[in-house]
Amino acid sequence: MGRVKKGEACSVIGCGKAAIRSLSPSYARILKDAGIEVNESDRLYLCEEHYKRLKKARSGEEQLERWRFSG
pLDDT of residue 70: 83
pLDDT of residue 64: 82
Give me the sign of the Cα torsion angle 24, 11, 48, 30. negative
Domains of the chain: 1-71 (3.40.1800)
Nearest to 49 by CA among 13, 17, 7: 17
Let me know if 62 is exposed, middle or buried by CB neighbors in 10 A (0-12, 13-18, 19+).
exposed
Q: Determine the Cα–Cα distance for residues 5 and 44; give it in Å rounded to an integer.
A: 14
pTM passes above 0.85 = no
Q: Determine the Cα–Cα distance for residues 53 and 7; give it in Å rounded to an integer.
A: 21
Higher pLDDT, 71 or 32: 32
Tens digits of residue pLDDT in 23-63: 999 989 889 988 999 998 899 999 999 999 999 988 887 88
